[in-house]
């Protein structure tokens, strides 16, 4: 499988504070945290990003959304740090994150102003 460098270079802070590990995670399948609750530094160097990087450093895309992503992996893949493959504990962490991330789809978690705007547009 293909390696990917993106989580070594960036992550995404959404308008509502939710932090996503990749700009191609359109559905928020794998949420890292919330900028209102954790610092950027804590999340950037945290166990969640470390687990994701361990998977992608070794070309293992067997988790959402990476398994369905055809991004070629990015330039300068040879510059990736020599980190070991993901451990069973890191894989279990990813599974827990995937299960937890589902809550970010829920409409009722959107701020009331956004919900109001969405309802207005329907009419
Ligand atoms: S494989 Fe795709 S979804 Fe996964 S980190 Fe790379 S660009 Fe993002």
Q: pLDDT per residue over 1-60, tens digit each? A: 799 999 999 999 999 999 999 999 988 889 999 999 999 999 999 999 999 999 999 999
Q: Ligand 1 pocket test: which of 2, 3, 24 has the largest number of ligand atoms within 8 Å of its C-beta?
A: 24
Check whether 70 has a pLDDT greater than 80. Answer: yes
pLDDT beyond 80 at 104: no
Note every long-range contact of 85-89, with CB atoms under 8 Å and residues 24 or more positions apart, other chains counting: 85/54, 85/55, 85/57, 85/58, 85/60, 86/51, 86/54, 86/55, 86/58, 86/60, 87/54
- Rounded CA-CA distance 71/17 in Å is 25
pTM: 0.83
What is the pLDDT at residue 26?
A: 85
Measured in Å, residue 116 CA sits from the centre of ligand 1 at 33
pLDDT of residue 120: 52
Closest-lying ligand 1 atom to the alpha carbon of residue 25? 3
As a whole number, the mean pLDDT across the chain is 85
Ligand 1 is surrounded, with C-beta below 6 A, by 4, 6-7, 22, 24-25, 56, 61, 65-66, 69, 71
């Amino acid at each position: 499988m293909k390696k990917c460098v993106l989580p070594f270079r960036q992550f995404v802070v959404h308008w509502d504070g939710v932090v996503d590990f990749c700009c191609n995670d359109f559905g928020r399948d794998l949420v890292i945290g919330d900028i209102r609750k954790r610092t950027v530094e804590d999340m950037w160097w945290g166990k969640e990003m470390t687990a994701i990087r361990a998977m992608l450093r070794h070309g293992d895309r067997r988790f959402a959304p990476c398994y369905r992503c055809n991004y070629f992996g990015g330039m300068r893949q040879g510059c990736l740090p020599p980190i070991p493959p993901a451990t069973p504990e890191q894989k279990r962490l990813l599974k827990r994150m995937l299960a937890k991330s589902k809550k970010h789809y829920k409409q009722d978690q959107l701020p009331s102003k956004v919900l109001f705007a969405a309802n207005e547009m329907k009419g």
